[in-house]
Amino acid sequence: DSVTATWNATLMTPGGAGGTGTLNIKNVGNPSADHIHLQFANTITPGAGVGASETDLITKHLQVTSMTYDGVDMLPTIPDSNTNGYKDLADLAAAGIVGAHTGVTPTSLELTNLNTNHPLIMTVVLNADSPDQNQGDSVSTIVTVSLHQVDGQ
């Protein structure tokens, strides 16, 4: 099945309030699943304001301050690939498949019971170090959820 969830944070200011959203993931099929994997992809739309910055992309300034799945903190499983000192949308995209058996807890995002919501909750803020070049930019992030029926897939 297809699931759509949208959360917006408009008129964000560097260091200001962000946005929190929830994607409820539920297995309604049969047989029940074992776990899921998550994959993130970002599309940036430059604003018409101060000017686009291709070297200082807004995705590395959209800090993910909280990300949980079923109440379990996911941020420790995401590497800070751009080494800016915090987890951001660029890091999520660079992480590849999140939830694969990587040796980092949680190694598996369990989805073993049918017809039960498993919330993926994420909060994103525009980090205080975001440059003027990012004014007016927008980002669409697509989260692909893959259901796996066997442990080790």
Average pLDDT of each block of 10 consecutive residues along the chain (153 residues)? 68 86 84 80 77 70 92 89 94 82 54 83 92 84 82 59
pLDDT of residue 77: 85
Question: DSSP 3-state assignment of 139?
Answer: strand
pLDDT of residue 83: 96
The phi, psi pair for 60, rounded to 5°, reads -85, -5
pLDDT of residue 51: 56
Q: Is 133 left (phi over 0), alpha (psi -120 to 50) or beta?
A: alpha
pLDDT of residue 70: 87
DSSP 77: G
Q: Cβ(143)–Cβ(38) under 8 Å?
A: yes
The phi, psi pair for 122, rounded to 5°, reads -135, 140
Q: Could you tell me the pTM of the whole model?
A: 0.85
Distance CA 118, CA 146 (A): 14
